[in-house]
Structure 1
Amino acid sequence: MARRTGSAPVRGYGLTSWGRAFAAVFESGADHRHLTGARRYFRDHHVDRLEFGRGEITASVRGSQLDPFEVILTPRPLDPQTVVDLLRRTGDVEALLAVARGEQPAPLGELIAPTESADVASACTCPDEAPRCIHALAVAFELSAQIDKQPTTLLRILGTDLPDLLAAVRGRAASPAPHRSGEVSVAPDADFYGDGVRLPAAPSFSRVEALAELNAAALRTALRVSGLGATQLAEALDDLAELYAALHDPR
Structure 2
Amino acid sequence: MPRYTSRDNVIYANFGAKRHNPQQRAAAAEKQHEDREWLSTVSRFIVDSVERDTDPGRKQRGRDYAREDRVTLLSYSENLISAQVRGSRPEPFEVQLRFAPIARHDQRELWDYLVSLPDYLPAFLRGELDRRAQRLLGFSDPRSITSSCECPDPNPVCKHIVAVAHAAAAEISRRSSRIFDLRGWDPQEIEAAVKRRVKENAAANAPAERGKDTARSGTPDEPAAAAESSRSSAQKRQQQVDATAFWQGGELPSLPDPQVEPALDDSDLSLLHIAMRSVSYTSIDELRAITDIEDMYYFLTHNEGSSSPDSP
Q: TM-score range by the shorter chain?
A: 0.5 to 0.7
The reply to whether residue 189 of structure 1 matches residue 209 of structure 2 is no
Equivalent residues in 2 for 1:1-251, closer than 5 Å:
12=35, 15-78=39-102, 82-86=106-110, 88=112, 91-92=116-117, 94-100=119-125, 102-106=126-130, 107-166=132-191, 168-169=193-194, 172-173=197-198, 175=200, 187=203, 189=205
Partners in 2 of 1:87 and 1:93 — Cα distance?
A: 11
Gap change, CA 1:188 and 1:73, over 3 Å in 2: closer
Gap change, CA 1:81 and 1:152, over 3 Å in 2: farther
Partners in 2 of 1:44 and 1:67 — Cα distance?
A: 17
Higher fraction of helix? 2
CA RMSD of aligned residues (A): 3.2
Query: How big is the shift at 1:117?
Result: 3.4
Q: Which shows bigger deviation, 47-56 or 166-175?
A: 166-175
Equivalence for 2:274: none
Q: Structure 2 length as normaliser, TM-score?
A: 0.48
Partners in 2 of 1:190 and 1:162 — Cα distance?
A: 29
Q: Structure 1 length as normaliser, TM-score?
A: 0.58
Query: How big is the shift at 1:159?
Result: 3.3
- Aligned to 2:57, what secondary structure does the other structure show? helix
Gap change, CA 1:16 and 1:62, over 3 Å in 2: same
Structure showing greater radius of gyration is 2
Letter in 2 for 1:189: N
Query: How big is the shift at 1:163?
Result: 3.5
Q: RCO (CA 8 Å, sep 6+): is it higher in 1 or 2?
A: 1
Alignment deviations for residues 161-206 of structure 1 (CA, whole Å, 9 cap, x no partner) = 4245335535645659xxxxxxxxx625269xxxxxx6669xxxxx
Partners in 1 of 2:76 and 2:85 — Cα distance?
A: 15
Gap change, CA 1:40 and 1:153, over 3 Å in 2: same
Structure 2 residue runs of 5 or longer lacking an equivalent are 1-33, 212-312
Gap change, CA 1:135 and 1:49, over 3 Å in 2: same
Query: How big is the shift at 1:78?
Result: 2.8
Q: In the alignment, is the contact (CA less than 8 A) between 2:78 and 2:182 conserved in 1?
A: yes
- Aligned to 1:129, what secondary structure does the other structure show? coil
Gap change, CA 1:154 and 1:199, over 3 Å in 2: farther
Query: How big is the shift at 1:145?
Result: 0.7
- Aligned to 2:98, what secondary structure does the other structure show? strand
Letter in 1 for 2:134: G
Q: In the alignment, is the contact (CA less than 8 A) between 1:57 and 1:74 conserved in 2?
A: yes
- Aligned to 1:114, what secondary structure does the other structure show? coil
Partners in 1 of 2:99 and 2:91 — Cα distance?
A: 26
Q: In the alignment, is the contact (CA less than 8 A) between 2:44 and 2:169 conserved in 1?
A: yes
Q: In the alignment, is the contact (CA less than 8 A) between 2:100 and 2:138 conserved in 1?
A: no
Gap change, CA 1:152 and 1:34, over 3 Å in 2: same
Query: How big is the shift at 1:35?
Result: 0.2
Paired positions, count = 175
Q: In the alignment, is the contact (CA less than 8 A) between 2:45 and 2:142 conserved in 1?
A: no
